[in-house]
């Protein structure tokens, strides 16, 4: 397993964990009747994460004397200097990397907010639903 495969697997693991935590927090916000400023902060985090993901997908940096990488945390292409020419190694995902990086940065921004929302509005949604007297499925 190469380092690129490890980074890609780690990013996907963070994305899956974030989707679960953010989904539970959104449900907790809805059931807990969160005030509008909580939702405003949630949307600001969401759009900031998407913007950062798009920006960092087109971000280019040097990863050594003969390596250039475009895209962070999942690179869209890696260039290697061979014989005075840059040889490209695209990752094969193409435009999908913009979405992956967007979700990665969004999840990084939304996880702390989601944990605060879970604490503020009574924890897991099933507990919040039971205290309100709604039936639990």
Q: What is the tens place of the pLDDT at every residue in 22-54?
A: 777 777 777 767 788 888 888 898 899 889 988
Compute φ and ψ for 7, nearest 5 degrees.
Answer: -65, -45
Task: Write down the pLDDT at residue 96.
Answer: 82
Task: Write down the pLDDT at residue 85.
Answer: 92
**Better-scored residue on pLDDT, 131 or 51:** 51
Provide the number of structural domains found in the chain: 1
Give per-residue pLDDT as tens, 49-94: 889 988 998 889 888 888 898 888 888 888 999 998 999 888 777 7
Domain that holds residue 107: 3-57+97-132
Give the Cα separation of 137 and 125 in Å (integer): 12
Give the Cα separation of 16 and 75 in Å (integer): 19
Is 80 inside a domain boundary? no
Is 69 inside a domain boundary? no
Give the Cα separation of 116 and 111 in Å (integer): 9
Is 63 inside a domain boundary? no
Is 34 inside a domain boundary? yes
Give the Cα separation of 101 and 93 in Å (integer): 12
The pTM assigned to this predicted structure is 0.67
Average pLDDT over residues 4-25: 75
Task: Write down the pLDDT at residue 114.
Answer: 80
Give the Cα separation of 82 and 59 in Å (integer): 22
- Tokens 């309100």, residue located: 132
Is 71 inside a domain boundary? no
Is 82 inside a domain boundary? no
Tokens of 110: 């939304």
Per mean pLDDT, which of 2-11, 45-54, 99-108, 121-130 is the most reliable? 45-54
pLDDT at 135 over 60: no
Is 121 inside a domain boundary? yes
Q: What angle separates helix 3-31 from helix 125-132, to the nearest 10 degrees? A: 10
Give per-residue pLDDT as tens, 84-114: 899 988 877 777 888 888 888 888 888 888 8
Is 15 inside a domain boundary? yes
């Amino acid at each position: 397993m190469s380092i690129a495969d490890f980074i890609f697997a780690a990013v996907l693991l963070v994305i899956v964990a974030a989707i679960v935590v953010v989904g539970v927090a959104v449900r907790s916000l809805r059931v807990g009747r969160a005030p509008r400023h909580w939702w405003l902060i949630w949307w600001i985090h969401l759009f900031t994460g998407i913007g950062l993901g798009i920006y960092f997908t087109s971000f280019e940096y040097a990863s050594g004397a003969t390596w250039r990488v475009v895209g962070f945390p999942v690179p869209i292409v890696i260039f290697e200097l061979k014989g005075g020419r840059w040889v490209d190694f695209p990752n094969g995902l193409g435009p999908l990397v913009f979405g992956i990086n967007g979700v990665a940065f969004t999840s990084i921004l939304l996880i702390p907010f989601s944990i605060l929302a879970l604490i503020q509005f009574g924890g897991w949604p099933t507990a919040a639903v039971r205290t309100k007297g709604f039936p639990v499925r």
